Structures are given as C-alpha cells and as structure tokens.
Amino acid sequence: MTDTPKPWRIKSVRTAYTNKWITVREYQAVAPTGADALYGLVHPHNLALGVLPIDAAGNTVLVGQQRFPFGRYSWELPEGGGPEDLPPLEGAQRELSEECGLKAEHWLPLVSDMHMSNSVSDERAYAFIAWGLTPDDRFAKDSSEELSVRRVSFADAVKMAISGEITDAFSLVMLLKADHLLRTGGLPSELSGLMQGET
C-alpha cells in the first residue's frame, strides 16, 4: 500500500454495560471510508494469559471445562486473566498454579500482545512455554470453575488442534506457534528434546 491508512474517527462514546470483568462501549464514529458507523467494543479488564506446560515426559497439560458462550465442553491449555498493571509472566505463573497445581523452573515467551478478536474487542494476550514442572498449591482454584486436567504428548495436542478437537483460539495459537518453532529450531535444545519425547 502506498497511501497512508485513514484512521477511525470517534464522535462520541457511551458505556453501555460494565461488570467486574468487562466494559462494553458504544461509539458513534466515522469509518476510514468517511461513512458514519455505530461501533460496539468489548474491553476486558484483564490481559489474556496462557501457558503451554511441558513436563519431563514431553507431555503438555490440557484443562477441560464447560464453557458458557457455546454451551460446550472445551479442552484448552491453561489460560485466564491477569491485571494489566502486572507483568504478564506473574499472571501466567498464577494461572498454571490455579488450574494445574504446578509451577515451572523455566519460562519462555511464546506470544506477545496478540489481539484476540480485533473486530469487536481490544483484548490483548500473552503466552509462555513453561518446563521444569513441579507441584504447587499456592493459589486456590476459581470457585466458578470445575476443571478436569489431563496430560497428552505435545505431538498429540498438536493433532487435537489440527483435527478440530481443540477449538479454543488461544490454545490453537500457542500449540501451532510452538510446533512451528520446534520444527524450525527456534526453541532451546533442552525444551526441543522434551517436546520430541527425547527423555
């Protein structure tokens, strides 16, 4: 593109709804085309945080739960929300402890400032690969979550992502990016060996 992109222009904004987790704002705006537009934006109050844990046997940890929006059971990597004013790693460490009862000796950034659904939300996501796992019970589970935990090989988790058995977008991004890094030599040799079952 040679032309400078035209931005959206905001004429007015009102808060349509807010609770502990999200705020929904309604904008009267002017689109980059010059047309008037009504825009609804969902603003989560937390960052989205995810973890791809790898244990000593080369397995990753999946968390299963009933998800409200689709009324379906979903297998996902450990993920949740963390305050925007804290480093994403701290929140990710808490999620791993809360959902899986684990802590990790090693952490590697996997996703930074990913936009989860940028047509309707300004949610931002960060994810990490974690290994050197040991039990941890510092953080209590969320009272609204009834979680199942299972361990599968990293290769099998990728197959679940490709086959459609895993449908959560954040988990898909984490698994497929990690698989790409594994195939292209972008991971530390110790971690690559674990993920390929070379224990």
Q: Whole-angstrom Cα distance, residue 55 to residue 193?
A: 11
CA distance to 61, 129, 143, 197, per residue, from 193 (Å): 17, 14, 37, 6
pLDDT digits (tens, 9 = 90+) for 21-46: 999 999 999 999 999 999 999 999 99
Q: How confident is the prediction along the chain (199 residues), in pLDDT tens digits per residue?
A: 557 889 999 999 999 999 999 999 999 999 999 999 999 999 999 999 999 999 999 999 999 999 999 999 999 999 999 999 999 999 999 999 999 999 999 999 999 999 999 999 999 999 999 999 999 988 766 666 688 999 999 999 999 999 999 999 999 999 999 999 999 999 999 999 999 987 5
Q: Whole-angstrom Cα distance, residue 165 to residue 53?
A: 19
Angle at alpha carbon of residue 82, lines to 67 and 112, rounded to 5°:
95
Q: Please state the pTM of the whole predicted model.
A: 0.92
